[in-house]
């Protein structure tokens, strides 16, 4: 009787083990099927999306026949955004100006001080070129004549930077990541706005280069960042003008912010006109940590905004 019971227990255990194994096999099979279905759906979605027609910053309608896997970036800001979107591995060429993130230094250089190198670009066999207004009209037309789509992205303010993110996300199929980037940028901008709201506005002068006294005027990112950060750019001219020393003394800024490449800080403090300003007298001269976070139309521009805000209103940004 005891032997019979032991045999019965053994049989029940075997049945249980076999049932478990069968369930596990079915579960694995179902998981594989679900993964394959997910990949098929994803592929179908990509195929349905293309050909894709984009209106670039020049107002041109550009059609992309298939999802780009080999991308050339001719603007450091665009390069940064592609990495932020998680598709930096699709880049096959950048410019000599590209330095962020660190891994871009390993990529082939296809443009620089002398403009875009068409031969170097073509040799990388790209299926998409992302250019700027400085990439060269003739060079871009030559690339397009070979059947390679060229999209020009050239943001000069915050709203256009958001548009660059949106377009790049659409082109690369990373819409969710694009929305996250835009939402995070807007949240940080709003945080700065809330902190400086109601505070006295600070008169600011940005020194780009001491030799020639070049500065940042209206219509530049730096002008917009100063304004959002609770400041007032004393320069009323557009773009990057030379500013007279007499006008600098007359406007008498409360704060002077300088590029890391402007000049030696002591030379600036002792320069004619500068040394007469309240900014120098009160020790309110600041050198930005990285000029690129003030001038590149990427998600890092909010880092520049926070840095400027701390210079202007340290009392609320400790």
As given in the structure block, the two tokens for residue 74 are 């001719």
Give domain status of residue 4, yes or no. Answer: no
> What integer pLDDT is reported at residue 47 of this predicted model?
59
Q: Which helix (H) or strand (E) holds 304?
A: helix 301-312
Are 308 and 264 in a shared domain? yes
Give domain status of residue 141, yes or no. Answer: yes
Looking at the chain, the whole-number percentage of residues with pLDDT higher than 70 is 85
Are 258 and 165 in a shared domain? no
Are 168 and 202 in a shared domain? no
Number of domains comprising the chain? 2
> What integer pLDDT is reported at residue 4 of this predicted model?
40
Are 57 and 153 in a shared domain? yes
Give domain status of residue 191, yes or no. Answer: no
Mean predicted confidence (pLDDT) in 32-55: 64
Q: Considering the entire predicted model, what is its pTM?
A: 0.84
Per the structure, the complete domain to which residue 128 belongs is given by 52-173
As given in the structure block, the two tokens for residue 88 are 């930096």
Q: Which of 108, 140, 173 finishes a domain?
A: 173
Give domain status of residue 15, yes or no. Answer: no
Q: Which residues pair with 218 in a beta bridge?
A: 238
Q: Which of 139, 173, 207 finishes a domain?
A: 173
Task: Write down the residue that tokens 């303010």 correspond to.
Answer: 157
Q: What are the CA-CA distances from residue 140 to residues 66, 75, 95, 136, 317 (Å)?
A: 20, 13, 15, 6, 45
Give domain status of residue 217, yes or no. Answer: yes
Give domain status of residue 253, yes or no. Answer: yes
Give domain status of residue 34, yes or no. Answer: no
Alpha carbons 155 and 185: distance in angstroms, whole number: 15
> What integer pLDDT is reported at residue 113 of this predicted model?
72
| pLDDT tens column, 229-266 | 999 999 999 999 999 999 999 999 999 999 999 999 99
Are 108 and 201 in a shared domain? no
Give domain status of residue 206, yes or no. Answer: yes
Instruction: Indicate the SS3 state at residue 263.
Output: coil
| pLDDT tens column, 171-207 | 999 999 999 999 999 999 999 999 999 999 999 999 9
CATH number for position 310: 3.40.50.1980
Are 90 and 151 in a shared domain? yes
Are 96 and 57 in a shared domain? yes
Instruction: Name the DSSP letter for residue 312.
Output: H
Alpha carbons 184 and 193: distance in angstroms, whole number: 14
Q: How many CA atoms lie within 13 A of 31 on its CB side?
A: 6
Q: At what angle do helices 76-84 and 158-172 cross, to 10 degrees?
A: 60
Are 69 and 152 in a shared domain? yes
Are 168 and 110 in a shared domain? yes
Are 161 and 202 in a shared domain? no
Are 238 and 307 in a shared domain? yes
| pLDDT tens column, 63-76 | 999 999 999 999 99
pLDDT for 21 beyond 90: no
């Amino acid at each position: 009787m005891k032997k019979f019971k032991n045999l019965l227990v053994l049989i029940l255990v075997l049945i249980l083990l076999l049932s478990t194994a069968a369930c596990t096999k079915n579960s694995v099979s179902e998981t594989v099927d679900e993964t394959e279905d997910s990949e098929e759906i994803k592929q179908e979605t990509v195929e349905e999306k293309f050909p894709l027609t984009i209106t670039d910053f020049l107002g041109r309608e550009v059609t992309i026949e298939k999802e780009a896997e080999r991308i050339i970036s001719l603007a450091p800001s665009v390069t940064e955004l592609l990495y932020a979107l998680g598709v930096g591995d699709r880049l096959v060429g950048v410019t000599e100006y590209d330095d962020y993130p660190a891994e871009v230094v390993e990529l082939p250089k296809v443009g620089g001080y002398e403009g875009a190198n068409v031969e170097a670009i073509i040799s990388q066999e790209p299926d998409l070129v992302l250019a700027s207004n400085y990439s060269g009209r003739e060079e871009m037309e030559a690339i397009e004549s070979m059947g390679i789509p060229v999209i020009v992205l050239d943001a000069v303010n915050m709203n256009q930077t958001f548009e660059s993110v949106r377009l790049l996300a659409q082109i690369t199929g990373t819409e969710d990541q694009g929305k996250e980037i835009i939402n995070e940028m807007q949240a940080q901008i709003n945080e700065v706005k809330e902190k400086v709201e109601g505070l006295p506005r600070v008169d600011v002068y940005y020194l780009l280069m001491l030799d020639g006294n070049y500065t940042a005027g209206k219509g530049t990112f730096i002008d917009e960042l100063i304004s959002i950060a609770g400041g007032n750019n004393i320069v009323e001219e557009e773009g990057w003008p030379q500013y007279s020393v007499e006008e600098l003394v007359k406007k008498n800024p409360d704060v002077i912010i300088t590029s890391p490449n402007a000049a030696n800080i002591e030379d600036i403090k002792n320069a004619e006109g500068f040394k007469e300003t309240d900014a120098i007298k009160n020790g309110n001269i600041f050198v930005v940590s990285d000029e690129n976070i003030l001038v590149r139309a990427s998600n890092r521009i909010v880092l520049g905004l926070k840095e400027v805000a701390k210079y202007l209103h340290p009392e609320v940004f400790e």
